[in-house]
Amino acid sequence: MKTKSIIVVIFLITSFIECNAQNEKNEANFPELKGPYLGQKPPGQTPEVFAPGVISRDDYFEHSAAVFSPDLSEVYWSVKPDGERYFKIYFMKMINGIWAKQQPVSFNGAKDNGNPTFSSDGKKLFFDSGGDIFFVKKEGDTWTKAIKISSVINTTVTESVQSITENGSIYFSRFNPNAKIRGNAHDMYVSKVVNGKYSKPEKLDENINSIEQEYAIFLAPNERYMIIEETKDNRLCEFYISYKMTENNWSKRMLLPIAWGRFPSVSPDEKYLFFMTRDAIYWIDAKFIEELKPKDLR
């Protein structure tokens, strides 16, 4: 018995040493990334993989856009590392002009975690975990523990955060278990802040919740435009843009020049659109936001 115990201890020590050596090797090989957007060369009118080998990796299954803080010093995204069961939110932070190595956030829940979304002032980060929406608050350089959002929004079905506006309104999707067509089972809602509390959610109109399948939307912080992810036949995922005309009226959707994409998110400076595909996180120049805008709204 003593011999077996000694062998087990030796094996554990050896594994620990090898693991540490591999981690040190990975740290040593991590590139020095400086400047805005991890120092990546800006894309043009054709989508390009964002930060290959760093954020878009072969050993990850990415499942969100790359979402930057308003001051562009932090970036968050959702992935499932190879060999793991659930999606986790990862982040990178720029310290003294250099981006630190990616790592999982401290507030990941026990199950799937996704859709990281900043408040417009960067003081809160919203996300969904296990079918509910949570948020964390910034305290100095760290985040608080995750706080579940109001029960007015979180119900017994699945909710997913989409966008947070300057006035605090939260746009989110809610699963509809009674939908006749499963593909149309995700409806988009908005809950506005009234007297410091979230109001009863309102289902968005047919311009957003159409007869097709909408799984995600992105609202500009001032709500002057929205980008809609629409899926046809459970295969083709396309982006459309619509512009706000009056308080409750939006322009006709216009198709964006992207062949396939999910989870749209425009950078805080509105220079780039980030999104995911089947194999990576991409970005593209967002000049189309102004170029496609109807003349009477310019």
Number of neighbouring beta carbons within 10 Å of residue 176: 16
Q: How far is CA 106 from CA 47, 93, 109, 110, 261, in A?
A: 31, 14, 9, 11, 28
Q: Which of 284, 224, 222 is CA-nearest to residue 256? A: 284
Question: Residue 24 above 80 pLDDT?
Answer: no
Q: Which CATH superfamily is domain 43-297 in?
A: TolB, C-terminal domain (2.120.10.30)
Ordered by start, the domain boundaries in the chain are: 1-30, 43-297
pLDDT of amino acid 184: 62
**Among the listed ranges 3-7, 18-22, 181-185, which one has the minimum average pLDDT value?**
18-22
Q: Name the pTM for this structure.
A: 0.88
Q: What is the mean pLDDT of residues 244-258?
A: 88
User: In whole angstroms, what is the distance from residue 178 CA to residue 70 CA?
Assistant: 38
Instruction: Give Cβ neighbours of residue 168 (< 8 Å, ≥ 6 apart).
Output: 119, 192, 193
Whole-number percent of the chain with pLDDT over 70: 88
* Residue 19 confidence (pLDDT) above 50: no
CB 105, CB 117: distance < 8 Å: no
Q: Give the pLDDT band of residue 183 (cuts 50, 70, 90).
A: low
